[in-house]
Structure 1
């Protein structure tokens, strides 16, 4: 994926309340949910391909928080063709959401589990249990 267009970036920031999804900070960066790799790709990311994160949380998702990022939908495996099928947890709101383009739709934890398991199977449960056990 290449960089998002200005319109997509602004729409993602608006959808996410102009705050970091993870910590609520007001410094904004565009987090690619699906890995783009060195040099990116030709695909221009859509709104469901991105999240608003601060620089600190963005770097943490790429490094030490990989499992937590996958368990909370902040990152999506590269092979997932439809990232909108992976729910996203907003910890400062204590809520799960389904991304519908530039809209967020609140869902229950049970629906989030169903969605995550439908995409990742048992891996989703392993990631969630790892996050819960770490506190």
Structure 2
């Protein structure tokens, strides 16, 4: 994936309320690619479902120290996974969402668990358990 278009970046910021999905900061925001783009990226333009609003500090942490947390909360998605099927947790709202285009559809934690397990199986449960008990 290459950089998002200006329209996609703006749509993601609007969808996320101009706040970091992780810490709710409203300054230093960046477009987080949920799927890894790798060295050099690809020719596919990211859609709003491929992106998330994160502050620069959280974006950096998701790439390094907080990778497991990022996977457990849907802020990052494995390269092979369809981001439409991976729920996203917004901790400052204590809520799970399914991303649908430029909309966030609130879902229960049970539905989030079903979605996460359908994509990642037992790994998702391990990641979530690590989140709850850390």
TMscore range, shorter length: over 0.9
TM-score by length of 1: 0.97
Q: What pairs with 1:1-135 in structure 2 (closer than 5 Å)?
A: 1-27=1-27, 28-80=29-81, 82-134=82-134
Number of matched pairs: 133
Cα drift, residue 37 of structure 1: 0.8
CA–CA separation in structure 2 for the residues paired with 1:83 and 1:19: 20
> Any stretches of 5+ residues in structure 1 without a counterpart?
none
TM-score by length of 2: 0.98
> Any stretches of 5+ residues in structure 2 without a counterpart?
none
Question: What RMSD, in angstroms, separates the aligned Cα atoms of the two structures?
Answer: 0.5
